[in-house]
Structure 1
Amino acid sequence: MKSSNNVRISMINNPSEDINYENTQISRAIWAALQTQTSNSAKNFITKMAKEETAEALAAGADIGEFSVGGMDFSLFKEVFESSKMDFILSHAMYCRDVLKLKKGQRAVISNGRIIGPLEDNEVFNQDDFHLLENIILKTSGQKIKSHIQQLHREEDVASDLVMKVDALLSAQPKGDARIEYQFFEDRHSAIKLTPKEGETYFDVVAVIDPVTRESQRLAPLLLVLTQLINMNLRVFMNCQSKLSDMPLKSFYRYVLEPEISFTSDNRFAKGPIAKFLDMPQSPLFTLNLNTPESWMVESVRTPYDLDNIYLEEVDGIVAAEYELEYLLLEGHCYDITTGQPPRGLQFTLGTSTNPVIVDTIVMANLGYFQLKANPGAWILRLRKGRSEDIYRIYSHDGTDSPPDAGEVVVVLNNFKSKIIKVKVQKKTDMVNEDLLSDGTNENESGFWDSFKWGFTGGQSTEAAKQDKDDIINIFSVASGHLYERFLRIMMLSVLKNTKTPVKFWFLKNYLSPTFKEFIPYMANKYNFQYELVQYKWPRWLHQQTEKQRIIWGYKILFLDVLFPLVVDKFLFVDADQIVRTDLKELRDFNLDGAPYGYTPFCDSRKEMDGYRFWKSGYWASHLAGRKYHISALYVVDLKKFRKIAAGDRLRGQYQGLSQDPNSLSNLDQDLPNNMIHQVPIKSLPQEWLWCETWCDDASKKRAKTIDLCNNPMTKEPKLEAAVRIVPEWQDYDQEIKQLQIRFQKEKEAGVLYNEKMTKEPHQEGPQKHEEL
């Protein structure tokens, strides 16, 4: 304070013990001086208070008046000193704990938003250190900011506060390249110009875009909104490619962003911004997709239309769809501090103090990534009970809302931005040689998924779930669009008609229509099966697919280890357009001989299709080296084995490399496992498990246990026509489902949709939408 004129000093109290009137004398004295004295008197008094001998004298019983300084209004000071409450010290301590992440009594120095610390107990931060810190800040940013703010001619206190705030904001931003101002000449015909309002300060904005790219689609509406918010001189230069072999842009785009909150005439909030597509061409077939922030999980909740197949020529009126933000994602990366590697297979749970296990997940070997879906609020992250908790402990964490070494990892979701945390774990001393994925104690014996079941059976005890899981056939399927949802319902009915063992269906929720989600509880009740909707957000670091069909293919193979609850040991995938003719228990119990999954090879008995069998020549012939090329319409997965050998991590790693080439993985869901056949072995299922007219001859049809309506590249016959011609029972199934839908609609309109059995179930969709949190 004596040697610098550029520094303001303030104190934040972080007491090491519970506070009382005696041990807060210096804090209260400094506080009272700042409230009552002139700057010079307060400075001199605080300098005296900062001395070690002053603290010792006060502790020995000296009166505070002995330390008054000349020019000090002591009577006013003493009145505030003796009457001052200790609430400000408590608020300081809370700030140190929650914002600065300091423990009780720890010291730190804060300068224009930069935190130096925490300092060790024996560490001295002396006058030289303060001078060095002052010089660094002045030279890097402080002096420049100060000179600019001085030109504003603000009052001294206001100007000093402004310097601190601006420097704190700028120092938090990543350092980039120096800004270079380019001069553009002859822009009369090559730029769009929006001039600013005259006589006002404005921002000079220059955008250089290729108008037929996805990036430009997003940037253009953002610039338009900015022009309504700030005064700006906008110039948009077109940087077009001179030659294009194909039209790169095949979509219409609307950015849902408004410049300000809108209200109705009676001062209520308006319904909110919407995306409007006007004057659209009538003949193309459109698909409606949402491009949301990475941490959002959004679902369509109301629309009677097939959003995958919008044909405007056949629509009367407006196609409207309503979406809902369902969950916010908590994402993280986890590493073992001893090895520096991700602890693959480590399991986390997320919950609250009263309900500690609400959702669970597994750590990928890919970047140690994990994700958990949640809602706004305070959450506690824990290692899952079982081998994860037995072998590991949480060593430290970053990006959370509790101190880095706190035993309880608290995470607060209080805005709509991404929340990404880092967790470091360490093996316990007596578990150093233990392998997390070895066959130790069954980790599935406890956890959220055992105690909280979705579907129509309500909650089950751990023992019941453990007993039942081997007696239930888990069947996974995906569908998008009303046509494939129709196929899906028929596939389900064919399974139920032929399978004696209880069945539980698993559906990828991400792309199901509101119509299907509304009907499936009714169907489940009528046919007495369980179902569950699962979802997973495509990780931001994994190469993204843009076409919906390829995204769905990705979900069929890339996230099998993390998509399902950890208690699911085995499941069957059955394509939506498949008809089952046998009891699937036989396939569930099929011996995979140690392989993580089993697929059916493509038939080669229909000789007229030889010219279309791409796997018989070229790359595939040499890569398979005599092995079969397998079809992805039906497969069985041993999830315990799949997770143990890190098959998901291997598949994602290979996908990341191959998917950069647009000519690779043309059939993603089957090319990828066939490409990885040497690293992740495939057990070939007997040929009768999947018959497809395109590739299999007619003689083999009588032995078929399932019939798949796969596309025929030669005839290109529509699926519905093929279904009626190839599968005699398909029409009967279709009519049965249609009659059920008619009854469903009548009961819905009459208000008697849900009978006594359904309304009694605690965890279900329907009148009580089943909860996933």
Structure 2
Amino acid sequence: SGKEKVLDFLYGLCKYYEGQHMVASSAAGDTLSSIKDKVYSLAAETALPVDDYKAWLTSFSADTILKGIDKLSDFLFGQLGLEFGSNAVITNGRIFVVDDGDSFLNEDLGLLESMEYELRTKYIHEIIEEVEWAGVDPDYLTSKFYSDITMLVSSSMSIRERPSERAHFEILNAEYSAIKLNSMNSSVHIDAVIDPLSPAGQKLSPLLRILSQQIQPSMRIVLNPISSLADLPLKNYYRFVLPSMDDFSSTDFSVHGPKAFFSNMPLSKTLTMNIDVPEPWLVEPVVAIHDLDNILLENLGDVRTLQAVYELEALLLTGHCMEKDREPPRGLQFILGTKQRPHLVDTLVMSNLGYWQMKVSPGVWYLQLAPGRSADLYELPSKLIAIDSLRGKLLHIEVQKKKGKEHEDLLNADDDNHVQEKTDNKGWNTNLLKWASSFISGDASLKKKAEKNTDLKDARQGETINIFSVASGHLYERFLKIMILSVLKKTERPVKFWFIKNYLSPQFKDVIPHMALEYGFEYELITYKWPTWLHKQKEKQRIIWAYKILFLDVIFPLSLRKVIFVDADQIVRTDMGELYDMDLKGRPLAYTPFCDNNKEMDGYRFWKQGFWKDHLRGRPYHISALYVVDLAKFRQTAAGDNLRVVYETLSKDPNSLSNLDQDLPNYAQHTVPIFSLPQEWLWCESWCGNATKAQAKTIDLCNNPMTKEPKLQGAKRIVPEWVDFDAEARHFTARILGENVEEIAEAIPPSSESDAPKPDHDDSSQDAKDEL
């Protein structure tokens, strides 16, 4: 065929050029003459029109042809990025570089042409042939015309697919928008194109500064901002820090650590301190006198300086687990430990990409299937894992079912006994806490005393009530201590509190061990790093909301079978054991519906109209200040996976999930069913009114969108016992920290009442805060 003739011709010409002209040993005229002769010879051998080639080549002078070759060479280098002397094949705008040593035969060229046509060009060519070319002379509509149009369209489309590993800045005209730093002696040149008002530009700028200081390159920075903005995209102050030799002492073995400084900051703006770290790092503040969520510099007095120390607490071991058919074995459970203690931490595999995650420290660990149904159904040899760098570790694991178990469902067990609950389960949790605490600074003597002092705990009888909560900022940590006291005063059963560690202040983490010892309760600090593949929230308040609902199946030890979430600003007036023991009728979640009593709030009940009314179809809209999670049922039904899928779908729309942790379970209750608790389990003045207050089993200090009354003021007015609880908690905190009560109160600025991030959903409007 004609195509085969052309391919044979090109192949012969390329081989001739490679063999005869890679070494420039002849004069230019002789070179051109020999090339012409070879073209005529190859055309004759492949049955191509020799006379046409002769007529075309002899119409140009030798000088014109050589200039054309030079121009083509400049185009290949300047526009296509091909190095001089390199070999490449260009088809329909796509460039395939042939590396030295690689064979590229006639058959390869034929295969490339065939695949390009079948995969990309064929469909474009068919569409172009159907186009009515109005206004084009029919004599021009030749096969060459269609071929050229097809090539141009294919080339344009391939530009969109071209990888970005290589860029050519020579073509940029940046006379008025470039910053040039010339270094005559440098062998390194850096070109950078930056949008100065983008988050990426904010991070790249200090990195370029560090490179400039360390290697003194020549540099050109082209500023490329968006031409028009409705709002400034950056609302934070940012510093990029790298370790330097100054961080290491020259006289001893101490390490000072890298530091970031913020100067000339606004005094009257409420700021929040956040830290941006590599994905495998779990970092937390370990020294901070002031509330890092509500920094108001004008309240610091004459000092006007605030400092905080952060510490790398742990690294992440993450992975993806698949069966041989590439389906994730959702619910499969792993344990991680040492040879002596094989079960230190555990987790389960999500259906979302087969993802799993564990917290580790540097060292050698053993990963294996958890005893129970996971080990009964699947095979996986114990894996030895070395954490030998600060990059953490990402594993890809393939498992297969045991022979004869191929058709059994992992999540079909009624008892959901994936991790055997033994009599030493309590000790296992203690071991986990001790292991995790080795990563952070702490009072070892206090831990020893806590292990020995069991008098108060032994006085409490019955099954342990597990309470889960989250707080951020000193104000809500103050509320959290009051909630703890209100729970303990109303029950004779053992209580264990679970707190999300990510947002607790160093002060609270210093006080809570003493409080547990004093009042006879257990506690555990838990955390889960936001997966990279899951759409991430940017506002700290919304991240906290997400932690209340998105990771319930993986944030707790697999041995925990039920937990109650209680808002930090809630006051409990009954024995929570009653709620803990309640039959949820097979539902994984139990929430209290919003009250309808207070008719003054009808205008704010958005779930009674529009989208929510249509979506709920008669189901109630529940409040998320108090809820029960049957973790066994939650994991067995893959409720966590379902909620994450719904979240991923909705969260990319900024108008969706305005009250994230509340909207998400209410929206998904058609697939993740909710058991509606009796109304008295959660009373809130704003929505319920005073008529039902006497029957309230818990009182939530929810915001009132009409009055916007400050939280502390409302607490003292609504809940008489709140004042006594607050005084008791403040006196205890002052005694532990060695401060007086007035200093504790002054540590919470008045402005933080309205600005502190807190999972509360009665008023979706929030005051924006700047971030460090």
| TM-score, normalised by the number of residues in structure 1 | 0.69
CA shift at 1:611, angstroms? 0.9
Which of 210, 213, 224 aligns to 1:228? It is 213
- Which amino acid letter does the alignment assign opposite residue 687 of structure 1? Q
Contact 2:285–2:310 (CA under 8 A) maintained in structure 1: yes
Instruction: Give CA deviations for 1:507-565 in whole Å, capped at 9, x if unaligned.
Output: 00111011001101111111111111111111111111111111110110000000111
Partner of residue 108, structure 1: none
* CA distance in structure 2 between the aligned counterparts of 1:519 and 1:536, rounded to whole angstroms: 23
Root mean square deviation, CA, Å: 2.6
Partner of residue 595, structure 1: 587
Instruction: Give CA deviations for 1:256-279 in whole Å, capped at 9, x if unaligned.
Output: 114556544537565121111111
- Which amino acid letter does the alignment assign opposite residue 306 of structure 1? D
Segment of structure 1 superposing worse, 475-484 or 248-257: 248-257
What is the 5 A alignment of 1:477-496?
Answer: 477-496=469-488
CA shift at 1:200, angstroms? 3.5
Which of 423, 440, 453 aligns to 2:429? It is 453
What is the 5 A alignment of 1:239-318?
Answer: 239-258=224-243, 260=245, 262-264=247-249, 266=251, 271-316=256-301, 317=303, 318=305
* CA distance in structure 1 between the aligned counterparts of 2:559 and 2:253, rounded to whole angstroms: 47
* CA distance in structure 2 between the aligned counterparts of 1:140 and 1:211, rounded to whole angstroms: 46
- The verdict on how the C-alpha distance between 1:584 and 1:380 changes in structure 2, with shifts beyond 3 A counting, is same
- Which amino acid letter does the alignment assign opposite residue 444 of structure 1? V
- Which amino acid letter does the alignment assign opposite residue 734 of structure 2? I
Partner of residue 642, structure 1: 634
- Which amino acid letter does the alignment assign opposite residue 257 of structure 1? L
Partner of residue 507, structure 1: 499
Instruction: Give CA deviations for 1:284-328 in whole Å, capped at 9, x if unaligned.
Output: 100001111111111111111100000001113221111111111
Contact 1:385–1:446 (CA under 8 A) maintained in structure 2: no
Contact 2:321–2:396 (CA under 8 A) maintained in structure 1: yes
- The verdict on how the C-alpha distance between 1:639 and 1:265 changes in structure 2, with shifts beyond 3 A counting, is closer
* CA distance in structure 2 between the aligned counterparts of 1:430 and 1:362, rounded to whole angstroms: 23
Partner of residue 378, structure 1: 364
* CA distance in structure 2 between the aligned counterparts of 1:523 and 1:647, rounded to whole angstroms: 34
**2:179 paired with 1:187:** no
Partner of residue 769, structure 1: none
Partner of residue 415, structure 1: 389
Contact 2:500–2:527 (CA under 8 A) maintained in structure 1: yes
- The verdict on how the C-alpha distance between 1:139 and 1:744 changes in structure 2, with shifts beyond 3 A counting, is same
- Which amino acid letter does the alignment assign opposite residue 516 of structure 1? F
Which of 322, 332, 335 aligns to 1:335? It is 322
Partner of residue 532, structure 1: 524
CA shift at 1:186, angstroms? 5.6
CA shift at 1:431, angstroms? 2.1
* CA distance in structure 2 between the aligned counterparts of 1:698 and 1:428, rounded to whole angstroms: 61
Partner of residue 764, structure 2: none
DSSP-derived class of the 2:685 partner: coil
- Which amino acid letter does the alignment assign opposite residue 680 of structure 1? V
CA shift at 1:378, angstroms? 1.4
* CA distance in structure 2 between the aligned counterparts of 1:713 and 1:350, rounded to whole angstroms: 47
Which of 618, 623, 626 aligns to 2:615? It is 623
* CA distance in structure 2 between the aligned counterparts of 1:596 and 1:441, rounded to whole angstroms: 13
CA shift at 1:434, angstroms? 2.5
Instruction: Give CA deviations for 1:669-704 in whole Å, capped at 9, x if unaligned.
Output: 000001101000111111111111111111111111
Partner of residue 138, structure 1: 101
Which of 416, 422, 427 aligns to 2:401? It is 427
Partner of residue 356, structure 1: 342
Partner of residue 694, structure 2: 702
Partner of residue 722, structure 1: 714
- The verdict on how the C-alpha distance between 1:626 and 1:209 changes in structure 2, with shifts beyond 3 A counting, is same
**2:308 paired with 1:321:** yes
Which of 613, 621, 634 aligns to 2:605? It is 613
Partner of residue 419, structure 2: 444
Instruction: Give CA deviations for 1:452-486 in whole Å, capped at 9, x if unaligned.
Output: 223789889xxxx9xx9970110000001000000
* CA distance in structure 1 between the aligned counterparts of 2:708 and 2:227, rounded to whole angstroms: 37
Structure 2, gaps ≥5 residues long = 1-97, 105-161, 434-446, 741-772
What is the 5 A alignment of 1:497-576?
Answer: 497-576=489-568
* CA distance in structure 2 between the aligned counterparts of 1:602 and 1:376, rounded to whole angstroms: 48
* CA distance in structure 1 between the aligned counterparts of 2:727 and 2:427, rounded to whole angstroms: 38
- The verdict on how the C-alpha distance between 1:599 and 1:231 changes in structure 2, with shifts beyond 3 A counting, is same
* CA distance in structure 2 between the aligned counterparts of 1:267 and 1:328, rounded to whole angstroms: 27
* CA distance in structure 2 between the aligned counterparts of 1:484 and 1:377, rounded to whole angstroms: 37
Give aligned pairs, total.
561
Instruction: Give CA deviations for 1:487-523 in whole Å, capped at 9, x if unaligned.
Output: 0000111111112221111100111011001101111
Contact 2:461–2:493 (CA under 8 A) maintained in structure 1: no
Contact 1:690–1:705 (CA under 8 A) maintained in structure 2: yes
* CA distance in structure 1 between the aligned counterparts of 2:228 and 2:695, rounded to whole angstroms: 55
Instruction: Give CA deviations for 1:230-269 in whole Å, capped at 9, x if unaligned.
Output: 2322222222223222221110001111455654453756
* CA distance in structure 1 between the aligned counterparts of 2:622 and 2:336, rounded to whole angstroms: 38
* CA distance in structure 1 between the aligned counterparts of 2:273 and 2:353, rounded to whole angstroms: 32
- Which amino acid letter does the alignment assign opposite residue 336 of structure 1? E
Contact 2:591–2:676 (CA under 8 A) maintained in structure 1: yes
Contact 2:462–2:493 (CA under 8 A) maintained in structure 1: no
* CA distance in structure 1 between the aligned counterparts of 2:250 and 2:515, rounded to whole angstroms: 44
Report runs of 4+ in structure 1 exceeding 6 Å deviation: 455-460
Contact 1:201–1:231 (CA under 8 A) maintained in structure 2: no
CA shift at 1:746, angstroms? 4.2
Contact 2:511–2:737 (CA under 8 A) maintained in structure 1: no
* CA distance in structure 1 between the aligned counterparts of 2:652 and 2:384, rounded to whole angstroms: 38
* CA distance in structure 1 between the aligned counterparts of 2:450 and 2:318, rounded to whole angstroms: 29
DSSP-derived class of the 1:560 partner: coil
Structure 1, gaps ≥5 residues long = 1-134, 142-174, 395-406, 749-773
* CA distance in structure 1 between the aligned counterparts of 2:208 and 2:499, rounded to whole angstroms: 40
* CA distance in structure 2 between the aligned counterparts of 1:663 and 1:635, rounded to whole angstroms: 25
Which of 624, 628, 650 aligns to 1:632? It is 624
- Give me the identity figure in percent: 55
* CA distance in structure 1 between the aligned counterparts of 2:451 and 2:633, rounded to whole angstroms: 27
DSSP-derived class of the 2:404 partner: helix
- The verdict on how the C-alpha distance between 1:683 and 1:260 changes in structure 2, with shifts beyond 3 A counting, is same
* CA distance in structure 2 between the aligned counterparts of 1:634 and 1:516, rounded to whole angstroms: 22
- The verdict on how the C-alpha distance between 1:226 and 1:531 changes in structure 2, with shifts beyond 3 A counting, is same
- Which amino acid letter does the alignment assign opposite residue 654 of structure 1? V
* CA distance in structure 2 between the aligned counterparts of 1:183 and 1:611, rounded to whole angstroms: 61
Partner of residue 681, structure 1: 673
* CA distance in structure 2 between the aligned counterparts of 1:698 and 1:302, rounded to whole angstroms: 43
DSSP-derived class of the 1:562 partner: coil
* CA distance in structure 2 between the aligned counterparts of 1:451 and 1:706, rounded to whole angstroms: 31
- The verdict on how the C-alpha distance between 1:622 and 1:422 changes in structure 2, with shifts beyond 3 A counting, is same
**2:446 paired with 1:471:** no
Contact 1:378–1:412 (CA under 8 A) maintained in structure 2: yes
- The verdict on how the C-alpha distance between 1:388 and 1:497 changes in structure 2, with shifts beyond 3 A counting, is same
Contact 1:287–1:310 (CA under 8 A) maintained in structure 2: yes
- The verdict on how the C-alpha distance between 1:469 and 1:683 changes in structure 2, with shifts beyond 3 A counting, is farther
- The verdict on how the C-alpha distance between 1:446 and 1:696 changes in structure 2, with shifts beyond 3 A counting, is closer
